[in-house]
Amino acid sequence: MKKKFLYSTFIDNDSVFAFVKAILAVFFAFFVVYFILLATGYKPLPVFAALFKGAFGSRRGFGETLLSTTPLLLGGLGFAVAYRCGLFNIGLEGQITMGGIAAAFFGFIIPEINPVIHVSICIIAGIVAGGIWGFIPGYLKAKFGVHEVISVIMLNHIAFKIAAYLVSMQGPMKDKLDDMPASPFISGSAKIIRIMDRTRLHWGIFLAVGVAVIIWLLLFRMRLGYKIRAVGRNPFAAEASGISIKKHIVLTLAISGALGGLAGAVEILGVHYRLFAAFSPGYGFDAIAVALLGMVNPLGIIASAFLFGILRSGSVFMQAMYGVNKDMVSVITAIIVLFMGMSVPIGIMLKNRIKRNSNGTVD
C-alpha cells in the first residue's frame, strides 16, 4: 500500500523521526501540565501566556532567556559529545562547578590586566578544570571498567563539597571581608562584558553558539568525530577497524567535561562575578534534557537550549503573576525526558512492525 510505504519511509528516516519526536515531547509535556494546572485550580492558558510573556515581554525578560540559554547550550553540547560515543555523562553539574571554581580563582587572584587576556586565562582555567573532572571517569572506565554513571555521580558530590569548603568560614577562597560564604569578587578585567542595557546578558551567548558550530564540525566533518561516533554505534566494529576504544572514551569524556567547565567559567565571569557553593541552579542536570530534546545534534541543541531558557526565565514571571510554583517547569523537563526515553523502544517497535507487515509494494 502507498500509505504504508510512505509511513515506513517516514519511520526509517531517522532525522525526520527524531525531529517529530522532539516536537511531540514538548507538546505532550505541556499537555500533561495543562491538566495538572486544571486539577490544582489554575487556568492553564493564562499561566502559559504568563510563562512566555516573562520570557519575551520585556528587554530584561528576553535578556534573562538568553542568559539561561548560554550554560544550558554549553552543558547540552557536553552531554551530546559523550552520548555520541556511547557514554552517559550525568556529571556535568560537577564539571560546571569545577570550571566555576577555577575561573573564580584566576579571576580574583590576578589583578587588573588586559581584559582579553584575563578573560581568556579564566576561561582556559575553567575548561582545563572541567576537562580534568571529565578525564577521571574516562580513565576509570578505560582502565578498570568502572561505569561512568557511577564515577561521575561520586565526582559530582566531591565537586560540590570542594566548592562548599573553599568558600566556608575557614576556606582558602573565602572573602574575609564578607560574612557570606563566597569568594572575593573577580577583577573588573575578568568580567565578560554585557551586551544589552538593563539586562545581565553578556557576550557568552555568542561564545556558546560558536562552540556549538565547532562541535558540529568536530562530530560530523572531522576524523575525530567519525571515530567518536563509530565507537558509540558499534565499539566492536570500531576496534576491528583499528580505532582505540579506550583512548576515545577518555578523550571524549575529557572534551565533555571541558564543555561543562566552560559553562561554569562563563557563568562566574558573566553573571555572578564570585564563587558561591551552589552557583549553578542545576544547569548540568537540565543539560541532559536539552541534549536529548535537541536530538544530541549541536544545531538542534541550540534550539532546545533556547526553549529551556524560555522556561527558566518565564517561570519567574509566571509565579509572580499567578502563584504557580516555578518548579512546574521541572515537571515539564521531566516529562520531556520521559517521552524522549520512551520514544526509543516505541520507534524500534514501529519499525519492526512496518517491516513485518509491509510487502514492499506500492499502489
Question: pLDDT grade, residue 93 (50/70/90)?
Answer: very high
pTM confidence score: 0.91
Ordered DSSP codes for 286-306: HHHHHHHHTTT-HHHHHHHHH
**Class of the 43-323 domain?**
mainly alpha
Question: pLDDT grade, residue 11 (50/70/90)?
Answer: very low
Q: Which of 29-38, 101-110, 171-180, 324-333 has the lowest mean pLDDT?
A: 324-333
The number of beta carbons lying within 10 Å of the beta carbon of residue 271 is 19
Q: What is the pLDDT of residues 18-36, one digit of tens each?
A: 777 788 888 888 999 999 9
Domain ranges of the chain: 43-323
Angle, vertex CA 179, rays to CA 177 and CA 180, nearest 5 = 110
User: How confident is the model over 61-82, as a mean pLDDT?
Assistant: 97
Q: Which three cell numbers stand for residue 71?
A: 550554560
Q: How far is CA 225 from CA 222, 240, 251, 287, 317, in A?
A: 5, 18, 11, 21, 41
CB 65 within 8 A of CB 75: no
Q: Flag whether pLDDT at 4 surpasses 90.
A: no
**Residue 55 phi, psi dihedral angles, 5° rounding:** -85, -30
Q: What is the pLDDT of residues 234-263, one digit of tens each?
A: 999 999 999 999 999 999 999 999 999 999
- Distance in Å from the first CA to the final CA of the chain: 5
